[in-house]
Amino acid sequence: MPEVQKCIKKVFGLDYAAFMDSTSGPGGVFLMNGFLVIELCKVHDCGDHQIFMIANRKDSRSAGIITIGSTLAVHLGDYDGPLMLPQTLQDQLNSESFTKAFEHGSFVSRDIHYVR
């Protein structure tokens, strides 16, 4: 799907083939509130390696989230700052599956980093 490939390259600066090598595949591509939403995770390790991206279907602006272990990176993409991110992405940022990581037998809060 060219739209998915373009979004991945634009938001994360990753080649689509390299990106797909570390995820379970494009099983989570759908429309929500006017956005193309892409949800992916690493095979057998979805809890620690997740990706959630959005692309506005009207103006093609996009942004995304990557979690790796106890780190959460918010790639602002085409948005000027965290407060400008669409509600669809902010809702994911507030969900426990993104803000918590399971380490050493308990849940810990992830460190959140914003990336341009």
Q: pLDDT value at position 26? A: 47
How many domains does the chain fold into?
Answer: 1
Q: Is the pTM of this model over 0.85?
A: no
Q: Strands 106-109 and 111-115: what pairing?
A: unpaired
Residue-wise pLDDT tens digits, 62-94? 999 888 778 888 999 999 999 999 998 998 888
Residue-wise pLDDT tens digits, 105-114? 777 788 888 9
Task: Return the beta strands (E) in 49-116 as ranges.
Answer: 49-56, 62-68, 71-75, 100-103, 106-109, 111-115
Q: How far apart are CA 14 and CA 5, in angstroms?
A: 9
Q: How far apart are CA 97 and CA 6, in angstroms?
A: 26
**Domain range enclosing 76:** 2-115
DSSP of 29-57, one letter per residue? EEEETTEEEEEEE-TT-TTTEEEEEEEET
Residue-wise pLDDT tens digits, 3-13? 667 777 778 77
